[in-house]
Amino acid sequence: MTFDSIAERAAKERLAVMCALHEKGDTILLLGPEADFWTLFKTSPEYQDKTPDPMDRWSSRVITAIAEEIGAEPLFPFGGPPYQPFLRWALRSGWAWSSPVRMLVHDRAGMMISFRGGLRVAGEMDLPTPPKAAPCESCEDKPCTTGCPVGALSDQHFYKVDDCYDYLDTLPGAICRKGGCRARLACPVSAKFDRDPAQSALHMSYFHRK
């Protein structure tokens, strides 16, 4: 079993190893959706049965099955408390960084990075070399800092969540509800990742207060 063989198995489910690291003698692989993930997900029984939490249920089924095949422990960012430290793992891996607005950014997925689960594999397997630098270091305009229509992310040290919620309740806020966070989408790397807006809309429906 190698990193490449696990990545190949995950790719069959339109998942990619977005981050990887060693921890306490084991290897942790964090799995996130590829840009074409939504096409596969829409055909799943979890999506089609129209009952709550389809993506979490899909993630539990699929990632647990992968873990059983390779003899790993499945890990999930939901189901707590307590919660697994996915953000800490991502930052420690060197494959993701804190963006200028403090949201996570990835070298390939940009600020559209997300995790559906992970795998803890016994032993320290060989891993690819992490990227040399965050994409933000070569990004001159930093459009994520001005992408939010209400400036909820303009203060780098405090996310104004109530301002965001209030805007989502308005008619203009529909563009964020239906297409995803404007700040995240403003990232030039995010723009190349080409995530389906319907996938972002599903996540926004969970984020947006009822």
Residues forming beta bridges with residue 97, ordered by sequence position: 105
Cα–Cα distance between 138 and 117 in angstroms, integer?
Answer: 30
Cα–Cα distance between 188 and 164 in angstroms, integer?
Answer: 22
pTM: 0.94
Cα–Cα distance between 97 and 102 in angstroms, integer?
Answer: 9
User: CA-CA distances (angstroms) from residue 24 to 120, 164, 204?
Assistant: 11, 39, 35
Confidence at residue 194, expressed as pLDDT on a 0 to 100 scale: 86
In 66-188, beta strands by DSSP E? 73-75, 96-98, 104-106, 117-122
User: What DSSP string describes 122-136?
Assistant: ES----PPPPSS-GG
Domain extents in the chain: 3-207
Confidence at residue 153, expressed as pLDDT on a 0 to 100 scale: 81
Express each pLDDT in 69-101 by its tens digit. 999 999 999 998 999 999 999 999 999 999 999
Helix axes 54-70, 3-11, angle to 10 degrees: 140
Confidence at residue 209, expressed as pLDDT on a 0 to 100 scale: 66
Give pLDDT tens digits along the chain (210 positions): 899 999 999 999 999 999 999 999 999 999 999 989 999 999 999 999 999 999 999 999 999 999 999 999 999 999 989 999 999 999 999 999 999 998 999 999 999 999 999 999 999 999 999 998 999 999 999 999 999 999 888 766 678 888 999 999 999 999 999 999 999 999 999 989 988 999 999 999 988 865
